[in-house]
């Protein structure tokens, strides 16, 4: 009863706030954890509610006592202060009772934790890699891998366009998993620490360069679930969302074979000779998703933080050195190694683009075959 | 700039020129310098919080770019922790400990001078990084590698200022310990010391234990960046998670360094205005000591998501939950002290009551965060932001406000304006809750911390929180005005000041003599 009343009150409050809000975004809001779609997330939710209500109950007792004191034991009522102090009995009672309450909390918490950390007997293993600022997914058993980055257009971020329903929580290539299968994630990072978190799956795990962490989930409802990187990872930490789509086994199988066909096509494309205009066209797209966050769409970078590519010695120097820098990154800086993130065609295209855009008129062109040879 | 303000506001009633403040070895002068420095830093850090709340007022990017936003969150935290809260408590210790234990001054006056005068330079160095190539540090105040190693020119200045702040804290702590151990008036046994003195004694030991650990951690960052070591780089055989372990071995005692003296302040104020002895003096001392001990064995609860073994997670969960016991003892003691007292509600008491209620709310969310399987959901969300602002703002900062109003009449000899003081309390309390309470909802709904932009479902509560933040920030100007007015004049305070006040500092004149107790008082 009390809960629904409090919820209604807060809903009115939030509704009022929403009407004040002029941004025109949807008035959807939330107050609490979501129960989620995995057995683990529901267990976490139940535990959360249990502990919260225990805290509320203790709060009522403690704050109630303070309130009664404030109302009744005030000098303005003419009361004389009592003189009692020090009571070993009372001290023991208020040490032991909280201790027992804590034990009552620790038992279900321990059970939940043991279940969460049991990553054995999984049906499917996916490797997750955090990059500044996107996620890479490798379906280890099926040979499918792709990069997943933010799909929200810049215009929405800079308020030049109406924000969409899934503003900042949409990606180009979502992670697709089958329902009712125990999916194990192997989580790592290539540059700095990130954290992989989808609230509906009930778990969060850090992605640490050089280390592999494990977590698991078993989704029982088909649908799309959204989350974000949860560990500060630099400039665009707020712009690396996670989208998980859970499909039934048949649909998942179809998706998987479509992915395999697509990656075969990419491999085949790397075998042929590419022309300048198609490389530039593809290169611009790759540049905007993989490079522009730091080096900016105009190639001028950010002084002091990210170097300019426009007119730079690297982009106008020998093409082999340029390609090597893009593929291997630069140690000790934010410049990542893109060899593991981009295909041969994409690497060839983006380097060609950088050498021939914004007034960089080197005029040469890098073939996917050269990239393959450089690997 | 902070030092300039320090001089300006004190010209008129302490003639003697600038050099008096530079060379002073008097505990009251140094206490004043600390308090003014921390007030200036409070407003610098607060201005950064205003930038953060302005950017978060609505989704999208309106005012700052994400890199600068990260600098703001990083600098806000560093300045508030090392520049505002910690120096403010050291300032209180300087002013009050000699007067409370019946001593003429601190034991090591020249070191006292030095430990203060390091601070403005360290603070200035930290703030100057805002103007450096590559911007101010933006990797979070926790300075986790590898991210912090991507900091631009500011990096060595960040490390050096952390070193200086640490040196200052250690010297301050040594001075406090030596003073308390050696300079108590005859008859003042340890178990007769005021609780503020007790909590500071324990805090000082915590400082000496952990500040060198922080210094070690940041020195390893420095050598990783400039001298080719790989302490925290997996590629060179190191471990980035090791930094987090070392940092939080410092970091968890650090949060108690910021709250134990607050417990002391509140334990002085509540008995005064309830006109009744503190319910359980010795259990308060033991609870403080227990919290200090536990603070050394709970650090990894800040990093449950790094992938620890199950047994490690269980140990840190159980140890963390245990802290609720001594903390509960404290809260129950304060409530029992009020029970059947004869309470009045002057401004210091209002802030102390606000402290007890809102610190307890922060304690509840702390208990929830201790439960590892649900911490996986809360970790690095606004739920955590709400939690530590309840314990640090409505906890530490409110206790500092309470202390300022409680002892200001003693320090200046003038009563503050009670009406304005109460107004300051009510405005602060209302706005701080509008500011931080909705952040619990944001965190539970899934908003990560340290992001400049967010999805539209979080818009409403962020807007409410920002409005509360602006109002809370503005309200603090009132505090400065009240202090300024009290320093300038006002109704004369009696020596005792408060009807129910107990303790040696109230036997001195208001304002007290330059050397507090030239002959030691006898304590029975």
Specify whether A27 is located in the same domain as A37. no
Residue B4 contacts A, CB cutoff 8 Å: no
CB contact under 8 A, A21 and B147: no
Boundary residue ending a domain (A268, A294, A324): A268
Same domain, A161 and A237: yes
Among A10, A29, A117, the residue with its CB nearest the CB of B457 is A29
- Kindly give, in sequence order, each residue whose CB lies less than 8 Å from that of residue B370, ignoring residues fewer than 6 positions away: B301, B317, B320, B321, B323, B324
Given this model, what pLDDT does residue A290 score?
Answer: 83
How sure is the predictor about A275, in pLDDT bands with cuts at 50, 70 and 90? confident
Who's near B481: CB < 8 A, 6+ residues apart? B420
A27, A69, A102: residue with CB nearest B339 = A69
Contacts of B374 in chain A (CB under 8 A): 44, 47-48, 51, 109, 112
Say yes or no: B223 contacts chain A, CB-CB below 8 A: no
Q: Which residue of B has its CA nearest to A229?
A: B448
Give B523's pLDDT tier (boundaries 50, 70, 90).
confident
Task: Report the distance separating Cα B453 and Cα B409, nearest Å.
Answer: 46
Q: Which of residues 54-73 of A touch B (CB under 8 A)?
A: 55, 58-59, 62-63, 65-66, 69-70, 73
pLDDT value for B172? 96
B350-374 pLDDT, tens per residue?
999 999 999 999 999 999 999 999 9
Q: B308 — contact with chain A (CB < 8 Å)?
A: no
For residue range A38-93, list pLDDT tens digits in order: 999 999 999 999 999 999 999 999 999 999 999 999 998 888 888 888 888 999 99
Are A167 and A263 within one domain? yes
Same domain, A190 and A224: yes
pLDDT digits (tens, 9 = 90+) for A169-183: 999 999 999 999 999
pLDDT at position A319: 84
B457/A211 CB distance under 8 A: no
Quote the pLDDT of residue A336: 82
> Active site includes B168?
yes
| Closest CA in chain B for residue A232 | B450
Query: In this complex, do A26 and B457 lie within 8 Å of one another by their Cβ atoms?
Result: yes
- Closest CA relative to residue B520, chosen from B109, B178, B29, B188: B188
- CB-based contact, A186 to chain B, within 8 Å: no
Give residue-wise pLDDT tens across range A303-354: 777 888 888 888 888 888 888 888 888 876 778 888 878 888 888 888 888 8
Closest residue by Cα to residue A73 from B195, B217, B344, B108 = B344
Residue B119's pLDDT is 96
Burial A224-245 (b: 16+ CB within 10 A, else e): ebbbbbbbbbbbbbbbbbbbbb
Examine the domain organization and report whether A219 and A355 are in the same domain: no
Per-residue pLDDT at B510 exceeds 70? yes
Say whether A62 and B314 touch across the interface (CB within 8 A).
no
pLDDT of A19 over the 50 cut: no
Percent of chain B with pLDDT over 70: 97
Note the pLDDT of residue A11: 55
Percent pLDDT > 90 in chain A is 51
**For this structure, is B105 an active site residue?**
yes
Sign of the dihedral defined by the CA atoms of residues B194, B196, B199, B203, in that order? negative
Are A79 and B281 within 8 A, CB to CB? no
Bridge partners, A229 (sequence order):
A196
pLDDT given at position A1? 45
The alpha-helical segments, DSSP class H, found in B79-232 are: 86-101, 109-128, 154-182, 195-226
- B76-97 pLDDT, tens per residue? 999 999 999 999 999 999 999 9
Catalytically annotated residue among B301, B387, B424, B440: B301
What is the span of the domain harbouring residue A300? 272-374
Asked if residue A282 and residue A251 are part of one domain, the reply reads no
> How high does pLDDT run on average in chain B?
93
Chain B environment of A208 (Cβ under 8 Å): 234, 240-241, 306-307
- What does the pLDDT look like over B9-56, one tens digit per residue? 444 445 477 888 899 999 999 999 999 999 999 999 999 999 999 999
Q: Give the span between the Cα atoms of A197 and A135, in whole angstroms.
A: 12
CB B475 within 8 A of CB B433: no
Cα(A69)–Cα(B335) distance, integer angstroms: 8
- A-B CB pairs within 8 A amount to 318
Nearest to A258 by CA among A339, A173, A347, A169: A173
Min distance B460 CA to chain A CA atoms (Å): 6
- The mean pLDDT of B273-278, rounded to a whole number, is 94
User: Exactly one of B168, B320, B372, B486 is catalytic; which is it?
Assistant: B168
Is the same domain home to A164 and A235? yes
Which one from B28, B163, B276, B302 is the annotated catalytic residue? B302
CATH number at residue A343: 1.10.760.10
B445 contact A CB<8A: yes
The predicted structure's pLDDT at residue B12: 42
Q: What is the pLDDT of residue B345?
A: 96
A14 and A132 fall within a common domain: no
Give, in order, the Cα–Cα distances in Å from B185 to each of B110, B200, B411, B519, B523: 22, 17, 21, 9, 7
Q: Are residues A240 and A264 in the same domain?
A: yes
How many domains does chain A divide into?
Answer: 4
CB contact under 8 Å between A159 and B372, yes or no, is no
Sort out which chain A residues have CB atoms less than 8 A from B368's CB and list them. 48, 51-52, 55
Beta bridge partners of A135: A130, A148
Instruction: Give A228-268 as a DSSP string.
Output: EE-S--STTGGG-EEEEEEE-HHHHHHHHHHHHHHHHHHHH
Tell whether the model's pLDDT for residue B215 goes beyond 90: yes
User: Among the options B14, B20, B275, B449, which is catalytic?
Assistant: B449
Partner residue opposite B450 with nearest CB, options A159, A211, A232 = A232
Residues A327 and A306 in one domain: yes
What pLDDT, on the 0 to 100 scale, is given for residue A4?
54
Give the domain CATH number at A188: 2.60.40.420
Which pLDDT does position B4 carry in this prediction? 44
Distance CA A102, CA B322 (A): 8
**Residue A315: per-residue pLDDT:** 85
Q: Do A208 and B241 touch (CB under 8 A)?
A: yes
pLDDT band at A22 (very low <50, low <70, confident <90, very high): very low
Residue A300 confidence (pLDDT): 87
- Would you state the pLDDT for residue A185? 96
* One domain for residues A26 and A37: no
Quick one: CA dihedral B391, B394, B398, B400, positive or negative?
Answer: positive
Residues A222/A246, Cβ–Cβ less than 8 Å: yes
* Yes or no, beta carbons of B135 and A305 under 8 Å apart: yes
| Residue B405 in contact with partner chain A when CB distance is under 8 A | no
Q: Which residues are within 8 A (CB) of B471 and not within 5 positions of it... i.e. 6 or more apart? A: B427, B431, B434, B435
Quick one: pLDDT at residue A216?
A: 95
For residue B503, report the phi and psi dihedrals to the nearest 5 degrees: 130, 160
Is residue A207 within a helix (H) or strand (E), and if so which, with residue range? strand A203-207
Residue B239 a catalytic site member: no
Residue A193's Cβ-count burial label (10 Å; 0-12, 13-18, 19+) is buried
Looking at residue B6, its pLDDT comes to 45
Nearest CA in chain B to A64: B335
Q: Mind listing the pLDDT tens digit for each residue in B128-183?
A: 999 998 899 999 999 999 999 999 899 999 999 999 999 999 999 999 999 999 99
How many angstroms away from the CA of B407 is the closest CA of chain A? 22
Q: Which site among B385, B386, B459, B462 would you substitute to test the A interface, given the most A Cβ atoms closer than 10 Å to its Cβ?
A: B459
Going from the C-alpha of A107 to that of each of A96, A112, A236, B315, B429, the distances in angstroms are 17, 9, 40, 13, 37
Render pLDDT for B392-448 as a digit per residue (tens, 0 to 9).
999 999 999 999 999 999 999 999 999 999 999 999 999 999 999 999 999 999 999
User: Using CB atoms, which residue from A81, A112, A233 is nearest to B342?
Assistant: A81
Q: Does B241 touch chain A (CB under 8 A)?
A: yes
Distance, in Å, from the CA atom of B179 to the CA atom of B107, rounded to the nearest integer, reads 5
**Is B141 tagged catalytic?**
yes
Query: How high is the mean pLDDT of chain A?
Result: 87
Nearest to A150 by CA among A169, A176, A129, A131: A169
A132 and A259 within one domain? yes
């Amino acid at each position: 009863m009390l809960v629904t009343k409090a919820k209604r009150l807060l809903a009115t409050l939030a509704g009022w706030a929403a009407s004040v809000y002029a941004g025109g975004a949807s008035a959807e809001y939330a107050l609490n954890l979501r129960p989620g779609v995995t057995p683990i997330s529901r267990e976490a939710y139940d535990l959360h509610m249990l502990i919260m209500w225990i805290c509320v109950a203790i709060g009522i007792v403690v704050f109630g006592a303070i309130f009664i004191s404030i109302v009744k034991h005030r000098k303005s009522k003419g009361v004389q202060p009592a003189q009692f102090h020090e009571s070993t009995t009372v001290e023991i009672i208020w040490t032991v009772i909280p201790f027992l309450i804590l034990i009552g909390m620790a038992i279900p918490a321990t059970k939940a934790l043991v279940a969460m950390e049991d990553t054995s007997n999984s049906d499917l293993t996916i490797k997750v890699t955090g990059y500044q600022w996107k996620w890479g997914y490798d379906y280890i058993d099926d040979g499918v891998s792709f990069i997943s980055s933010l799909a929200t257009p810049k215009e929405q971020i800079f308020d030049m366009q109406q924000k969409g329903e899934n503003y900042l929580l949409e990606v180009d290539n979502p992670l697709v998993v089958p329902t009712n299968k125990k999916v194990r994630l192997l989580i790592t990072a290539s540059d700095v620490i990130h954290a992989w978190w989808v609230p509906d799956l009930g778990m969060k795990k850090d992605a640490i360069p050089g280390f592999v962490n494990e977590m698991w989930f078993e989704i029982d409802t088909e649908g799309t679930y959204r989350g974000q990187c949860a560990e500060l990872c630099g400039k665009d930490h707020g712009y690396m969302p996670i989208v998980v789509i859970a499909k039934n086994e048949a649909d998942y199988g179809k998706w998987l074979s479509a992915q395999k066909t697509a990656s075969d096509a990419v491999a085949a494309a790397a075998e042929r000779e590419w022309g300048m205009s198609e490389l530039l066209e593809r290169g611009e797209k790759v540049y905007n998703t993989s490079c522009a966050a730091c080096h900016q769409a105009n190639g001028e970078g950010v002084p002091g933080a990210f170097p300019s590519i426009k007119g730079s010695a690297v982009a106008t120097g020998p093409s082999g050195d340029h390609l090597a820098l893009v593929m291997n990154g630069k140690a000790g800086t934010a410049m990542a190694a893109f060899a593991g993130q981009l295909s041969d065609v994409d690497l060839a295209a983006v380097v060609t683009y950088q050498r021939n855009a914004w007034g960089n008129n080197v005029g040469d062109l890098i073939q996917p075959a050269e990239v393959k040879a450089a690997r | 700039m902070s030092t300039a303000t320090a001089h300006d506001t004190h010209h008129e009633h302490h003639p003697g020129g600038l050099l008096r403040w530079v060379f002073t070895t008097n505990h009251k002068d140094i206490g004043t310098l600390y308090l003014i420095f921390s007030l200036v830093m409070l407003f610098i850090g607060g201005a950064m919080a205003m930038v953060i709340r302005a950017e978060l007022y609505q989704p999208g990017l309106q005012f700052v770019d994400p890199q600068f936003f990260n600098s703001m969150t990083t600098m806000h935290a560093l300045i508030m922790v090392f520049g505002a809260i910690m120096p403010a408590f050291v300032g209180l210790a300087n002013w009050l400990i000699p007067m409370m234990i019946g001593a003429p001054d601190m034991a090591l006056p020249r070191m006292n001078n030095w430990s203060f005068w390091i601070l403005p330079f360290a603070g200035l160095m930290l703030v100057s990084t805002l103007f450096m190539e590559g911007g101010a540090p933006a990797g979070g105040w926790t300075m986790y590698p590898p991210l912090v190693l991507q900091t631009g020119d500011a990096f060595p200045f960040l490390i050096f200022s952390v070193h200086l702040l640490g040196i200052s804290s250690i010297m301050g702590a040594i001075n406090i310990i030596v003073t308390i151990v050696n300079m108590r008036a005859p008859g003042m046994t340890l178990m007769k010391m005021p609780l503020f003195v007790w909590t500071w004694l324990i805090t000082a030991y915590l400082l000496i234990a952990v500040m060198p650990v922080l210094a070690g951690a940041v020195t390893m960052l420095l050598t990783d960046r400039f001298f080719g070591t790989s302490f925290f780089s997996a590629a060179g055989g190191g471990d980035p998670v090791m930094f987090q372990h070392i940092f939080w071995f410092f970091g968890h005692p650090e949060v108690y360094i910021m709250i134990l003296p607050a417990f002391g302040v509140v334990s002085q104020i509540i008995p005064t205005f309830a006109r009744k002895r503190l319910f359980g003096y010795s259990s308060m001392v033991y609870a403080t000591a227990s919290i200090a001990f536990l603070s050394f064995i709970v650090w990894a609860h800040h990093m449950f998501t790094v992938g620890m073994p199950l047994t490690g997670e269980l140990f840190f969960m159980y140890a963390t939950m245990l802290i609720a016991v001594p903390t509960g003892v404290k809260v129950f003691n304060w409530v029992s002290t009020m029970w059947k007292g004869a309470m009045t509600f002057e401004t210091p008491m209002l802030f102390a009551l606000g402290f007890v209620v809102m610190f307890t709310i922060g304690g509840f969310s702390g208990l929830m965060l201790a439960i590892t399987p649900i911490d996986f959901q809360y970790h690095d969300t606004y739920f955590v932001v709400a939690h530590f602002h309840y314990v640090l703002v409505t906890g530490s900062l409110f206790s500092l406000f309470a202390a300022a109003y409680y002892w200001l009449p003693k320090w200046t000899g003038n009563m503050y304006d009670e009406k304005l003081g109460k107004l300051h309390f009510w405005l602060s309390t209302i706005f701080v809750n509008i500011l931080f309470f909705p952040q619990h909802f944001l965190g539970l709904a899934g908003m990560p911390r340290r992001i400049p932009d967010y999805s539209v479902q979080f818009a409403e509560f962020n807007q409410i929180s920002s409005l509360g933040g602006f109002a809370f920030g503005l309200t603090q100007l009132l505090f400065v005005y009240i202090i300024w007015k009290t320093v300038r004049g006002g109704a004369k305070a009696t020596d005792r000041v408060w009807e129910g006040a107990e303790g040696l500092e109230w036997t001195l004149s208001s304002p007290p003599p330059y050397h507090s107790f030239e002959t030691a008082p006898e304590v029975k």
